[in-house]
Structure 1
Amino acid sequence: MRVPVKLLGFVVWLLCLNFGQCRDCLRSDIIYENIVPVSDASYADGKTAKVFCQIGFTGIYILKCENGKWSERVGRTCKKKKCSHPGDAANADFKLLDGTEFVFGTTVVYTCKKGYEMTSRSNKRTCTSKGWDNSVPECEAVKCPAILTNRDVIASGNTKEGNYGEVIHFECASSEKKIDGSRDIRCTETGDWSAPVPNCIAVTCELTSNVDVKRVVPEGKTIFRAGERVTITCTEKTWLKSKETSRRFTCQDDGQWDYNPVCEVITCEPPSRDQHVSTYFWRTWKLDESKNYECDSGYYKKAEVATCTRDGLTPKPLCAGMCARPDIPNAKIEGVPRQNYSTASTLRYKCNPGFEPEETVEITCNPQAQWTGLQQCTAKREDCHDLSVKNGFIYSQSLNKKEILYSCNKGYKPFTGEWWSSVTCVKGSWSDVPLCIPEEECGALPSVQNGKLKLKDQETAEVDCDPGFISSTPSIKCISGTWETPTCNEGVKCGIPPYVGNSGITSKPKAFYIHGSSVTYTCRNPFVMIGKSTVFCSNGKWEETPTCEGDICPPPPYIENGSHFSRNPDDKMPTEVYYECQAYYVLSERKQYYRCENGRWETPPKCLKPCQVTQDILEAHNMRPDQQTGYIKHGDYVDYYCQHRLIVRTGHYKKATCSDGKLEIESCE
């Protein structure tokens, strides 16, 4: 088969040669993209050419020249070579600059996440014919500089070299000092701390305002340390936010007052909607000022003007509701009826003849503008309905049917009365319901003179005697269908209550006291009551009386370089005081109050002396100060370091500590 084909080709070529009809194919006619140009400029008819792709592309074309035109025998388009995934970088993200695939010529750019910085030389990778160039970039956490503090400040956290996001917490070494600055700082993405390293300063509270202040105790002092107290009294027509005119304030450990020590002008707020004030001509106004106002429809003014008082607006309420004249059929209102009635006013009316109630009715307009005690007038009913007696029978009835007598069948008895009973018709209603009960049950409770009975259960009733009377038994029982007989006999009276020293009784004296009555004792100040203050008379005898114990307290003890202040500034004989020291002196103990009990005061504190640090003292000990000289309080210290090349025993810096006026100094050697 191949020989005839070759022969046919040869014949065609021979014909083209003889007749000049076969043409060459040109290199310039190969117009595929991303190919390498073929080596020859032209190809004879019947010749083939292999066309290869450029570097970075894959594919091939095999072309044949046929009468001056290229025909494609084999063809794979030249496409960009693909690269694998470029690789993820820890703490970084990447993105393609162009396109959506990892192919030849594309570039990915890596960006470190917040708080991280690039440590690699290049942040890019490009897909080449041999794969990705460069290596996957690396990002390391941003670092902040080391934290340096003085001795007063304690730092918690990675203070040597902070990484991004790490937090350093600061506290003061002394409880008498507070952080001046941020308690927590954070390493930011820029490599800087979010705030400067703080210092520690003494915990103090300051009285920043003396406006409208009448008195300050202790006087003249404006700076207070933690735990110290001050009492502020406001001027007339001013008060504190707590609506008190005088209060004691305490400086807390955070340098803030427990309450805001500022006196403000006493003002009243405008009335709220539920006060039914329709018109007023103010927003706020001061103490004792009065303004005009008007009330909503259906309400009336309790006064011509509204006045601002310490208790708010007066009168209370500003506007009171009004009751409309009631519509009471079959009744006549006494006096001249009005259209409206103010709250708390009364109205009297009486039902017409033939209607009830027969007596005059009085009704009252309550604060909610509603009538209370209102009764309708209803037609009188003279006759009562017919009765029947279950387990019994009626055996007698009056001619006008106003009274009937009834008895019970065998085995039953009336609930009230003996073995027979009666009921009466009064104004259309029977006085009672005729009732027959089994004989073994108890009926109505018996009456008891000078007392009353209260049913506890079906078989027991409690005896409650009138004041001054006593029962021999607290209750009675139902026995075989009959109640026990109750009695309330007059109790034995008590005489004058027993005398109790240093006390009095809160009520006026009487010649005698009936059984069950009581008196209440009260002790004179500052004596303390031991026992129950109220005692009762029990059948001629008083219960055990209390006692008033304690001694009168002397004036509070004096302390050197300090003063005492009463818990209640107006108390002339104080029983509770607190102490304050002069400037630079410190209390030996912190206690809220010192009390007087049984005539004796608790041992007061001492005011520990300050120390004076002078240049002469430091030079005498061969030292140079690291802080300013001056006065320091008990327990405080100053840093110093040795000079003249002398060395301290245990380190370069040392402390000179104040102990009740004496400066304890370690010498240089």
Structure 2
Amino acid sequence: MHPKPRQCPVLLFALVHILRLVQSQGTHCTVQQFKQNQRYYDDNFEISNLAESYPDQQSVRVGCKVGYSGFFKMTCSRDQWTYKGNKCQPRSCGHPGDAQFADFQLTVGQDFVFGSQVEYTCHKGFLMANRRNFRRCMAQGWDGVIPICEPLQCPAIYPDSNVLVQGDTENSIYRNSVQFSCRYNNQILSGQQEIICNEHGEWSGTVPKCIEIKCGLPDIPNGSILGDAIEYKENDFLHYECDDRYQRIENRLSKCTNLGLKADWSPVPHCEIIKCRLQLTAEDQATYVPPNKNVFLSGEMLSIHCGQNYWIGSKQNTSVETRCQDDGTWTVYPICRDDFCTNQRPRSVSWWYVQQEHQIRLRHRTQYGCRSGYVNTAKSGMAECTRDGWSPNPLCREILCDPIQIDNAVLSKHNNRTYRNGQSISYGCKEGYEGNPLRTCSVNGWSGSSKCTAKGCPLKGIADAQLKQPSKPIYTNGTNLQYVCNKNGNTITVTCVLGKWEGMRECSGCGKAHLENGFVVKRNANTIHFRCNEGYRLSTHISWVVATCRDGHWIGFSGQCIDNTTCGKPPVIPNGRLTDGQHVNKEDSTVAVICEEGFMAQVQNFTCTKGEWSSFGKPLTDICKSDATYCGIPPKIENTVVISSEKLFPPNSEVTYQCRHKFTLEGDGRSVCVNGQWDVKNFACTEIKGGGPNIPNVVGDEHMYQLRIFSAYSCSITYNPQ
């Protein structure tokens, strides 16, 4: 064992400790020194538990007051403190917490640390439910609780039943809105269309009502309302008029109308002073006097001077004076118009040297040609642009021909009013004529020369007779032939009339009688009775035809058999005639009425209807009536009579007055109808002094005394003169 080496370290430590004690007894550091050190000391250190002083080399840990944290160490060295660590800092409480519908702000301190305080404020429309509206940062953290903000609620509202609501009327809070409208179209809101719950828990307006749409009397400056109404209902019109020299701004009537939030007049009734306006354009090169004016009052004048290639008012005018009229229009519309000719080729023109994009001005000339069916109106074939347009006008004339008549011919088809180039008319010849005439419309009028020629008559012999003239196969129309009977030497003369021999008979008797489309029903020695075949009737409307042989000729044929669907020859009308209906006498055919001069047709034509000519109920005597003035009954003259049953007399009619019994005429007893008045001649009936002759068994009659006859008599019924 080695005991001595173990004791050496213990002794050495003891010696060092003693040495230090000796040294410390001479130096020390005080708390006062620490408090006076402004660099390190502040009130946040907790020094109440420190000693007054500390010896050299002594270290002291200084703590922080409640609510502060930090680490600070002081060591005494040669009568001075040395410092190490951080000063005391306020303890952080962290974020104080957000409150719904509220904001907060620091009212104490600069941060969320010990000693600071935050204050909460509710948003608009919200009310704080807590008693305290603040929190403080304590050593243990934030005191209190996060406040609660409850929304303010507006009182319930109860609109009328005719008011429609959109929104919550019973539980509305801040910023909630309620919209209103009317249930019926004939009502309008009286009040606000929308109200809002405000930050004070109050509605921004009162609940509206729905009232009937009505409009009051509007104020119309320079105008006056017509009528006595002071209030108008929906769709009522307002009638008003403007003062002199004023006019409505719109022609539409103003109507009481629902305009969404109110009832008012649409359009707004308004009267403005009558003005004429001058519409100027950038291209307008006209000169106006007065210049620089585009609004004129009624009665004011304006002069316009256009360029040489322009016109105004009419194509021939380049300048004009116009006046603003009371109705706001100009006497002449004050606009200069370009004097152009159209560049659109007329339909009748086949070609010309004008392009569609060209503007054709005055005096421009161009060649042109016409399409088929037209001819150039200008013989030179040149068209010129004038103020009246292209000249000549029209450039091309259509080739047209008016209908023509050909002797003894009728149109085979319906007649056109006009015929174009190349169109033809075909004709049919009348009975007794032959041919097929045709005419064609051409540039030079109608072409074609064919005609209807009278039919000739082939030679026909008569038994027991000899022809006096040389015989031919056929004879022309109008030729007369004479036959001499062999037995009695009688001469029979026949005439060729439109293909038939007239006067043809036998030398003995009358030869054979024939009725076309008829048959014999009875035959006697010299008499034959005919009736028409089925489907035919006599044009004279009698039952049969009687033919009698007399002097070698059949006489008594009073009609012909015609088809039941035809009307035959048109009737004869007094004072007029009907056009030939021989070839137009079928169903629905018409013949025109032509009255003599001085008479007027009461119907324009007769129509063939069911085999008869119809005059539309007019008697034949009334078809052509005089267009002159008629006279009434002749005037009465003493001791005279006029024998007539007429009550109306046509112009130039003449009546003769007769003297009564025992009176005689002195003067001319005639009277003439002139322009509706009777022109009575100067005459008188004077009494015969001796009376009339005494004739037995004679009855005197004053109506039988004729002018220039002294007396007249008639026998009684019971006596016959010898």
TM-score interval, smaller chain: 0.3 to 0.5
TM-score by structure 2 length?
Answer: 0.40
Structure number with bigger Rg: 2
TM-score by structure 1 length?
Answer: 0.43
